[in-house]
Structure 1
Amino acid sequence: MGQIDISVIMTVKNGEKFLVSSLSSVFYQTYIPQEVVVVNDGSDDNTWDILMELRRKAPIPVQLVNTQGIGRSKALNLAVSHAKSRWLANIDADDKWIAEKLEKQALAIGIFPDAELVVTTSQTVYGDGEGEMQAKGGFAITPMGKESFYIRNPINHSSILFSRRFFDEVGGYDETMTRQVDIDLWIRALQRGHTFYRVDLPLTIKRLHDAQSFEVGNRLGYTFNSFKISLKKLWKLNAPFYYFPIPFVKFAYNNIPRSIRRHLKKS
């Protein structure tokens, strides 16, 4: 496996509850990143103090960038601008990685030298859940073209490893957007003909909890924005017409209370 240099980026706002868990999963990767860059985007809880303590104890260099609150897209672009490596991996402040996550992605890049963005499959945990912390067995690497995106966004933002060249070519995160900024990036990349690669192991843990912005205060606004983005995605990717009813069905389903949705998934 060839060596690639990786910077890990994170943006956080009021992430004190899960910050230690998230960054600890980065610090103890089997494939060690060169650095971590964290943008504290206007937190008013104990996030900054926790970050300072984590930096003091971290086994790898940690850059901390403090803002008064510039928004998700600008904060992500700011993190990328501070990172030093040719490859960058994002992790959200309430998610975490299995220890072999970066190692498997670096291996995928060695197998597919044309890869510019590599993701993994994910586990989902609720609240304080931990998930399965060991990767079991071998794995496949699956190319992902635009057809993979017709029904849903198949990429967990915390699973991505991408080249700086890819990021610069696509134009970074759209700073006019405040929500679901990742899918816009994927649409632009797919329009340019990029193929993504997926490591088919659940090496990323996505945490769902009641404090997330889309569950607090304005879930209807969040799901309506998701509905609009889904229609835009289908239009931009020239999807067949029979995919267009799907966003309407998902909008209705996503406005059912989470407790009922979880019950429906289990039944």
Structure 2
Amino acid sequence: METPLVSIITPSFNSEKFIAETIQSVQNQTYQNWEIIIVDDCSLDKTLSIVTKMALLDNRIQLFQSEKNSGTGIARNTALTKCKGRYISFLDADDLWKPQKLEKQIDFLKTNNLPFTFSFYDCIDEEGKSLNRTVEAPRNLSYRQLFFCNYVGNLTGIYDVNYFEKIAISSIRKRQDWMLWLTILKKIKTAQPLPESLAFYRIRENSISASKLDLLKHNFAVYRTFHGFNIVVSLLCMTGFLFTQLIIKPGYIKKVKL
């Protein structure tokens, strides 16, 4: 059975607390034909030494350093130039994959003849403890639905380079993943998730997901800068976004029974 190479893009910055566990979650994959491209954005902690030691023991781990701190978008684009795989996937330096993540997604792509997919994911806190929440998504995600809400967890998305070629990440400092999925959905119109939780998303105290005000600010920037809308249209789009967040999306967040 063919096992095409999967390239995993991981930007890092001051990630010493999480990076080893993140890499280990990749090493624990049942699908083993992968490379992880880590681009460090001038960390000031022990991130570099941790990754360097792990890379010496596993040549599938590749480490590159930014010349100056430029944000995750630039780091991801740098990693993109180094990728050699047929499939591009993403994993931030504090998130985790479940062991069968790649195997199940590659099989799902092949079986359904898809160029892109994603999955559900569980939420954990900064210490790795379960928050008893699973984030799901529409089973047939349309561009219109994605336009008003990013249903695709960055740590779950994977696309076929043979179909799309490599897709550059937006230079906007935040919400690059949403803009990437919008670019993909604009071409293929709809996307199907693998309807199973395959990853753990870590919610940190200083993250955008933890700050509703920052989330609104950065989403507004997507409508203004990425889509190029004027202020009035962007505000109307934000109204649709807020409606989706308050009324529609909560139905896709499931509480896990203890």
Determine which of 194, 214, 217 is the counterpart of 1:199.
194
- CA shift digits 1:118-137 (9 cap, x unpaired): 111010111212449xxxxx
1:182 aligned counterpart, secondary structure: helix
Report deviation, 1:84.
1.2
- 2:85 is matched with 85
- 1:52 is matched with 52
Aligned counterparts, 1:126-165, within 5 A: 126-131=125-130, 142-165=139-162
**AA paired with 1:3?**
T
Rounded Cα–Cα distance in structure 2 between residues aligned with 1:2 and 1:131: 35
Report deviation, 1:191.
2.2
Q: Which ranges of structure 2 fall in alignment gaps of 5 or more residues?
A: 132-137, 230-235, 247-258
State whether residues 234 and 243 of structure 1, in contact with CA within 8 Å, keep that contact through their aligned partners in structure 2.
no
Bigger mean CA deviation after superposition, 69-78 or 14-23: 69-78
| 1:174 partnered with 2:170 | yes
Rounded Cα–Cα distance in structure 2 between residues aligned with 1:250 and 1:126: 24
Compute the RMSD of aligned alpha carbons: 3.1
Q: Which ranges of structure 1 fall in alignment gaps of 5 or more residues?
A: 133-140, 237-241, 254-267
1:159 aligned counterpart, secondary structure: coil
Question: Where has structure 1 moved over 4 Å in runs of 4 or more?
Answer: 213-216, 230-236, 248-251
**AA paired with 2:158?**
L
State whether residues 88 and 162 of structure 1, in contact with CA within 8 Å, keep that contact through their aligned partners in structure 2.
yes
- 2:103 is matched with 103
**AA paired with 1:148?**
Q
State whether residues 77 and 168 of structure 2, in contact with CA within 8 Å, keep that contact through their aligned partners in structure 1.
yes
**AA paired with 1:82?**
K
| 1:189 partnered with 2:184 | yes
Report deviation, 1:166.
4.7
% identity of equivalent residues:
21
- CA shift digits 1:12-65 (9 cap, x unpaired): 11111111111100011001133211101111111101111121233x521110
1:129 aligned counterpart, secondary structure: coil
| 1:245 partnered with 2:242 | no
2:193 aligned counterpart, secondary structure: strand
- 1:5 is matched with 5
Bigger mean CA deviation after superposition, 64-73 or 205-214: 205-214
So what's the TM-score if we normalise by structure 2? 0.78
